[in-house]
């Protein structure tokens, strides 16, 4: 009887331990599957949110397209066509006479063409000589007050030639569309 009790006890403990092990293995696989499904759901929600943001952005762009047309017109007024840069040296000459300075101007290098994101430009070298106020006012008007051209000075060198005469040598860019 002790032998029979022992055998039943071992079988009972083995069945209980086996049941716990089987339950543990099943619980592990079920939790792994649940985690995988939860990650997939999270990725799907993120994708839906991103697609929704894209659709919302497209709708805003479509609704603001008349405003974009206004900006395009403004850019057309600020940036001349490339072939209109032929008149740039004549404009500089007229401005130099207004400021009583002497000007030497040359385009340098190849033009960088315009694209959808950036304006095109062509580099130039500008030599200006005259009294200090005339040179300073001329350079300020070229860069900041041009009615037809958008100009940027990359660098310049100002030298005093005599008591009242200054010379400015500048490298810059004039932009076009």
Read off the pLDDT of each residue in 108-118 and give the average, rounded to a whole number: 84
Identity of the highest mean pLDDT range in 38-42, 60-64, 123-127: 123-127
Residue 44 burial by Cβ neighbours in a 10 Å radius (0-12, 13-18, 19+):
exposed
Pick the CATH number of 80-176 from 2.60.40.680, 3.30.70.60, 3.90.920.10, 3.10.129.10: 3.30.70.60
Read off the pLDDT of each residue in 146-163 and give the average, rounded to a whole number: 86
The answer on pLDDT for 2 being more than 80 is no
Q: Phi/psi zone of residue 66: left (φ > 0), alpha (ψ -120 to 50 degrees), beta?
A: alpha
Residues linked to residue 105 through DSSP beta bridges, in sequence order: 126
Count of beta carbons in the 10 Å neighbourhood of residue 170: 19
The answer on pLDDT for 102 being more than 70 is yes
Q: What's the pLDDT score for residue 80?
A: 84
E strands within 98-148? 102-112, 120-130
Identity of the highest mean pLDDT range in 41-50, 74-83, 91-100: 91-100
pTM metric for this prediction: 0.58
Give the long-range contacts of residues 86-95, CB within 8 A, separation 24 or more. 87/148, 88/149, 88/174, 91/146, 91/148, 91/149, 92/126, 92/142, 95/138, 95/141, 95/142
Q: What's the pLDDT score for residue 162?
A: 84
Q: Domain spans of the chain?
A: 1-63, 80-176
Read off the pLDDT of each residue in 137-156 and give the average, rounded to a whole number: 87
What does each C-alpha distance from 133 to 128, 139, 166 come to in angstroms?
A: 12, 10, 9
Q: What's the pLDDT score for residue 64?
A: 65
């Amino acid at each position: 009887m002790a032998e029979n009790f022992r055998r039943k006890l071992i079988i009972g403990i083995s069945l209980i331990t086996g049941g716990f092990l089987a339950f543990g293995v099943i619980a592990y696989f079920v939790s792994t599957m649940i985690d995988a499904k939860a990650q997939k759901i999270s990725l799907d929600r993120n994708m839906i949110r991103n697609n929704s943001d894209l659709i919302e952005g497209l709708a805003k762009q479509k609704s603001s397209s008349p405003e974009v047309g206004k900006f395009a017109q403004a850019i057309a007024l600020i940036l001349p066509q490339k072939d209109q840069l032929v008149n740039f040296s004549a404009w500089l000459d007229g401005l130099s006479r207004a400021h009583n300075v002497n000007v030497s101007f040359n385009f340098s290098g190849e033009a960088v063409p315009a694209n959808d994101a950036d304006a095109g430009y062509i580099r130039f070298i500008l030599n200006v000589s005259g009294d200090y106020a005339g040179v300073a006012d001329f350079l300020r008007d070229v860069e900041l007050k041009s009615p037809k051209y958008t100009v940027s000075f990359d660098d310049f060198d100002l030298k005093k030639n005599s008591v009242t005469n200054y010379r400015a040598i500048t490298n810059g860019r004039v932009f076009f569309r």
